[in-house]
Amino acid sequence: MKNSDNDSIEQFYQYLMIEKGLSPETLSAYSSDIMQFVDFLKTNSKSNIISATREDISNHLVFLAEKEISPSSRARHLVSLRGLYNFFVSEEIINSSPAAKIDLPKCGLKLPNFLSLEEIKSLLDSPDKTKPTGIRDNAIIELLYASGIRVSELTGLQKENFFLNPGYIKVFGKGSRERAVPVGSYAIEAVSEYLEHSRSRLLKNKTSSYLFVGQGGKPLTRQAIWKQLKIYAKKAGIKKNVSPHILRHSFATHLLEGGGDLRSVQLMLGHADLATTQIYTHVSKSQLKKIHDKFHPRK
């Protein structure tokens, strides 16, 4: 690959990191996809990354399919290449994108799983609130369900970023994007109880800037929260695969079923693209049918 190709790709990475604010994990995924395409070009084409054609990209996607790479992973490869070539166009390195008119591989609609209100209540009844860890875990479940934040956002949540009055949390999500997420009275009450009766007992005379802590003041890990949720789900008799992310799905689902608008849910979830949030609209179909049957003059 020519030095100009290396330089152009590096400029793209700098753009993603500085201007788009993408996380190192996302940058790594872009890099992996692009370098796989570079390797493909070296072996199978006379083109380099800048002179690659629509046919080169299509052949690369066929090559990935033959290696039994999943449709969703092939779609991600194409999205990465689209981003690269759109950047090249914007920087006037090329005139048009060879990836522009290639259709994404059919991935099928993977609908998010979620808990019913009854299952949420059963899950919240599971922690033993006579113990400091139980009080903490109850607050964690309430906050995950009340806000829809990611578990990584919860484990990184600073105590100073939880505002009891008027009731919201300041969250730093993917790409270090900051957003304010409102929380309801149940979560406020649960976190208040944790702060008053549990946190200092868990800290054991140590200090921590994190809102939620483990024994001896250690920060909680995502794995620890995941493990506890599994235990509580089993105790509650919930057969679904319960994880922190299913509480995020439940948050979005129940908001939309209750009449929340898609844009507001997008902002609270921290989705950069509204299309990502639209996956949840399927869950409102039963609710819409009820509204239609109740109010339409020719139901």
Same domain, 152 and 57: no
Mean confidence (pLDDT) of the chain: 86
Q: What integer pLDDT is reported at residue 215 of this predicted model?
A: 84
Are 124 and 242 a contacting pair, CB within 8 Å?
A: no
Count Cβ atoms below 10 Å from residue 262 Cβ, excluding itself.
Answer: 17
Within a domain: residue 107? no
Within a domain: residue 96? no
Query: Is 201 assigned a catalytic role?
Result: no
Q: What integer pLDDT is reported at residue 163 of this predicted model?
A: 93
Cα–Cα distances in Å, from 204 out to 196, 208, 269? 14, 11, 34
What is the identity of the amino acid at 5? D
Mean pLDDT for the stretch of residues 20-38: 88
What is the identity of the amino acid at 237? G
Within a domain: residue 35? yes
Q: What integer pLDDT is reported at residue 296 of this predicted model?
A: 54
Same domain, 153 and 272: yes
Query: Is 101 assigned a catalytic role?
Result: no
The residue from 73, 90, 107 where one domain ends is 90
Within a domain: residue 38? yes
Within a domain: residue 297? no
- Pair of tokens at residue 243: 């994880």
Same domain, 49 and 8: yes
CATH number at residue 197: 1.10.443.10
Same domain, 85 and 122: no
Residue 237 has pLDDT above 80, yes or no: yes
Bigger pLDDT: 4 or 27? 27
Q: Which of 151-160, 252-261, 281-290 has the lowest mean pLDDT?
A: 281-290
Same domain, 124 and 73: no
Looking at the structure of the chain, the number of domains it has is 2
Are 137 and 227 a contacting pair, CB within 8 Å?
A: no
Q: What is the pLDDT of residues 73-91, one digit of tens each?
A: 888 898 899 999 999 999 9
Are 71 and 53 a contacting pair, CB within 8 Å?
A: no
For the chain, the distance separating the N- and C-terminal CA atoms, rounded to the nearest angstrom, is 65
Within a domain: residue 106? no
Q: What integer pLDDT is reported at residue 2 of this predicted model?
A: 44
Alpha helix positions (H), the chain? 3-14, 24-44, 54-66, 71-90, 117-124, 132-147, 151-155, 185-197, 199-203, 222-236, 244-257, 262-269, 274-277, 285-295
Q: Which domain holds residue 76?
A: 3-90
Catalytic residue from among 150, 199, 249, 254: 150
The residue from 90, 106, 133 where one domain ends is 90
Residue 254 has pLDDT above 80, yes or no: yes
Q: What integer pLDDT is reported at residue 298 of this predicted model?
A: 60
Same domain, 78 and 219: no
Percentage of the chain exceeding pLDDT 90? 53
- Cα–Cα distance measured from residue 148 to residue 222, given in angstroms and rounded to the nearest whole number: 15
Within a domain: residue 95? no
Which of 68-77, 109-118, 201-210, 257-266 is predicted most confidently? 201-210
- Cα–Cα distance measured from residue 95 to residue 230, given in angstroms and rounded to the nearest whole number: 53
Catalytic residue from among 54, 170, 174, 230: 174
Query: Is 245 assigned a catalytic role?
Result: yes
Same domain, 148 and 283: yes
- Cα–Cα distance measured from residue 60 to residue 102, given in angstroms and rounded to the nearest whole number: 12
Same domain, 21 and 133: no
CATH number at residue 24: 1.10.150
- Pair of tokens at residue 212: 């939620």
Map residue 215 onto helix, strand or coil: helix
Within a domain: residue 242? yes
Map residue 221 onto helix, strand or coil: coil
Count Cβ atoms below 10 Å from residue 230 Cβ, excluding itself.
Answer: 14
Query: Is 174 assigned a catalytic role?
Result: yes
Same domain, 147 and 218: yes
Q: What integer pLDDT is reported at residue 89 of this predicted model?
A: 93
Residue 135 CB-density burial (10 A; 0-12 exposed, 13-18 middle, 19+ buried): buried
Residue 92 has pLDDT above 60, yes or no: yes
Mean pLDDT for the stretch of residues 261-270: 86
Q: What integer pLDDT is reported at residue 283 of this predicted model?
A: 53
Query: Is 179 assigned a catalytic role?
Result: no
**Phi (first) and psi of residue 157, to 5 degrees:** -70, 125
Are 248 and 149 a contacting pair, CB within 8 Å?
A: yes
Residue 63 CB-density burial (10 A; 0-12 exposed, 13-18 middle, 19+ buried): middle
Same domain, 198 and 277: yes
Cα-based angle 184, 114, 76 (whole degrees, multiple of 5): 110
Q: What integer pLDDT is reported at residue 267 of this predicted model?
A: 87
144 confidence band (pLDDT: 50, 70, 90): very high
154 confidence band (pLDDT: 50, 70, 90): very high
Same domain, 52 and 129: no
User: Is 0.75 topped by the overall pTM?
Assistant: no
Query: Helices 54-66 and 24-44: crossing angle, nearest 10°?
Result: 100
Same domain, 128 and 72: no
Q: What integer pLDDT is reported at residue 197 of this predicted model?
A: 95
The residue from 43, 74, 90 where one domain ends is 90
Residue 287 has pLDDT above 60, yes or no: no
Q: What integer pLDDT is reported at residue 1 of this predicted model?
A: 41
The length of the chain in residues reads 299
